[in-house]
Amino acid sequence: MDTLHKAAPCFLPARILLPAPGTPLNPWACIAVDQFTSQPDYWRRAEALAAGRASTLHIVLPEAYLGQPGEEQRLDRIRRTMADYRKHLLTRVVDGFVYVERTQADGSVRQGLVGAVDLEAYSYAPGDHPAIRPSENTVVERIPPRLKVRRGAELETPHVMLLADDEACTLIEPVAAVKNRLPLLYDGELMLGGGHLRGWAVEDPDLIAGIEAAVTALGDPAAFAARWPGAAGQPPMTLAVGDGNHSLATAKAYWEERKAVLPPDKQQTDPARYCLVEVCNVHAPAIEIEPIHRVLFGTRAAQVRAALEAWATANTICVSPGSSQQFTLVSADGEEALGFAGEVEPLTVGTVERFVQDFLRHNPGVRVDYIHGEAAVRSLAAAGGVGLVMPPLEKADLFRGVVLGGVLPRKTFSMGHAEEKRYYNECRSLVDNATPSV
């Protein structure tokens, strides 16, 4: 199954590695390294669970430890453990995809497909329009520390989650419908309240062909133009980054380093050209896209209200309740439903964020915090803050904001709670070229 020597979609089958059957997910699988960065106790508990046992925790560097004493020693241990795992522990191979089901805290089941993306089809450079796009601005300063882990690594294990705008359910759901005839790879509880995880091998040629056809159709130029008339003439987008934006950017940066020293024929097969990810359907019921609200401190509602009027006028729009971009101003004095007539950004949150940044520039004593949940906003407002409550995000809004606005404004949405982020589980070799897949 050689997908590299023909025109291929941006999401591909891969040679996926797993430990032997019966290896317990607790503690083998560990949570994404960018979680609990201010809670080192979480990582101490995880390390206690994984001590002396096979665990992906031993091949990743939690960001709570970035820049801390002993970082180089940790990196050395990680590389040695990767080499050992690749040779002796990761004895199961899936040539294709892995269909996964994650049971979350509320009982909902999040479905996904693990495979590889071609990093030639992804870019985080502003103004680019690749098939795979970041959903938020990439802070390039966050890449170098992650590159230190990627350089010299023999394995990768993903926490990157990409989203497909697949309202017709053509990509993942057909595989889910036949999961009972697929080989079960793992089935168990994740450590420290992560919920339940099951995975099945997808190696059947017909299923793989169906996945590739669905990915191709999602990136069809005519269908893209019909869905997004405002982006007419723009190359189509197939997938958007839902989580792990800077991890994918790091893989891209490393690939660009590698590509610069490789002859063209080697570039086609070098494993660094690809990155293992999980793809989910943004329209699936278990995918929750929640808005992130703003709370201003060191000001009063009347000052914010007057500044909103002045800023809107300066941007040739106006503040008008009942208009398309609606939000709510919340303070100890009460609540007021507002809106912008006219758009500065495609999404309300983008227009509001533009105002907030302008307000902070002109009021250096004011600060902003980004808050999950309306109840928390109202509690802070009652204590003296001024809240800007964002409207609910429609799932298609995520794609609309990326397609029409380039990327979403910072702190636009949250996708699940910390414990529901992807856990490291499946692996892929970054040094083996002679593989039947990627």
Do 376 and 314 share a domain, yes or no? Answer: yes
Is residue 108 domain-resident? yes
Is residue 402 domain-resident? no
- The total number of structural domains in the chain stands at 2
Instruction: Provide, rounded to the nearest whole percent, the portion of the chain with pLDDT above 90.
Output: 71
Question: pTM for this one?
Answer: 0.85
Is residue 118 domain-resident? yes
pLDDT at residue 435 greater than cutoff 50: no
Contact 158, 276 (CB under 8 A): yes
- pLDDT-derived band at 321 (thresholds 50, 70, 90) equals confident
DSSP assigned state of 88: I
Looking at residue 413, its pLDDT comes to: 80
- pLDDT-derived band at 433 (thresholds 50, 70, 90) equals low
In 3D space, the residue among 288, 305, 299 whose CA is nearest the CA of residue 373 turns out to be: 288
Looking at residue 6, its pLDDT comes to: 41
Do 125 and 158 share a domain, yes or no? Answer: yes
pLDDT at residue 4 greater than cutoff 50: no
Tokens 């529901």 belong to which residue? 420
Instruction: Give the whole-angstrom CA distance, residue 97 versus residue 111.
Output: 13
Q: What share of the chain is helix, strand, coil (3-state, %, to 5)?
A: 35, 25, 40
In 3D space, the residue among 384, 288, 398 whose CA is nearest the CA of residue 333 turns out to be: 384
Q: List the structure tokens of 168.
A: 């017709």
Do 295 and 424 share a domain, yes or no? Answer: no
Q: List the structure tokens of 324.
A: 């398309």
pLDDT, tens digit, for every residue of 46-55?
999 999 999 9
Do 223 and 118 share a domain, yes or no? Answer: yes
Higher pLDDT, 434 or 355: 355
Q: Give the lowest-confidence range in 30-39, 148-157, 272-281.
A: 30-39
pLDDT at residue 400 greater than cutoff 90: no
pLDDT at residue 7 greater than cutoff 60: no
Average pLDDT, the chain: 91
User: Buried b / exposed e across 123-139, counting CB within 10 Å, b at 16+?
Assistant: bbeeeeebbbbbbbebe
Is residue 3 domain-resident? no
Domain around 371: 290-392
Q: Give the lowest-confidence range in 85-89, 169-173, 367-371.
A: 367-371
- pLDDT-derived band at 438 (thresholds 50, 70, 90) equals low
Do 247 and 304 share a domain, yes or no? Answer: no
DSSP assigned state of 96: E
Do 384 and 423 share a domain, yes or no? Answer: no
Do 98 and 54 share a domain, yes or no? Answer: yes
Q: Residue 312 maps to which CATH number? A: 3.30.1760.10
Is residue 412 domain-resident? no
Looking at residue 225, its pLDDT comes to: 92
Looking at residue 24, its pLDDT comes to: 97
Instruction: Give the whole-angstrom CA distance, residue 236 versus residue 121.
Output: 11
Do 220 and 256 share a domain, yes or no? Answer: yes
Instruction: Give the whole-angstrom CA distance, residue 254 versus residue 146.
Output: 10
Is residue 380 domain-resident? yes
- pLDDT-derived band at 1 (thresholds 50, 70, 90) equals very low
Higher pLDDT, 291 or 396: 291
Instruction: Give the whole-angstrom CA distance, residue 15 versus residue 88.
Output: 16
Do 46 and 175 share a domain, yes or no? Answer: yes
Q: Helix axis angle, 245-259 relative to 143-150, nearest 10°?
A: 60
Do 238 and 346 share a domain, yes or no? Answer: no
Instruction: Give the whole-angstrom CA distance, residue 356 versus residue 370.
Output: 11
Instruction: Provide, rounded to the nearest whole percent, the portion of the chain with pLDDT above 70.
Output: 97
pLDDT at residue 2 greater than cutoff 60: no
Looking at residue 213, its pLDDT comes to: 97
Do 207 and 297 share a domain, yes or no? Answer: no
Higher pLDDT, 121 or 231: 121
Is residue 408 domain-resident? no
Q: List the structure tokens of 99.
A: 């269909």
Instruction: Give the whole-angstrom CA distance, residue 114 versus residue 248.
Output: 14
Do 219 and 353 share a domain, yes or no? Answer: no
Is residue 64 domain-resident? yes
pLDDT at residue 139 greater than cutoff 60: yes
Number of neighbouring beta carbons within 10 Å of residue 52: 5
pLDDT, tens digit, for every residue of 75-117?
999 999 999 999 999 999 999 999 999 998 889 999 999 999 9
Q: List the structure tokens of 437.
A: 């897949």
Number of neighbouring beta carbons within 10 Å of residue 2: 11
pLDDT at residue 409 greater than cutoff 90: no
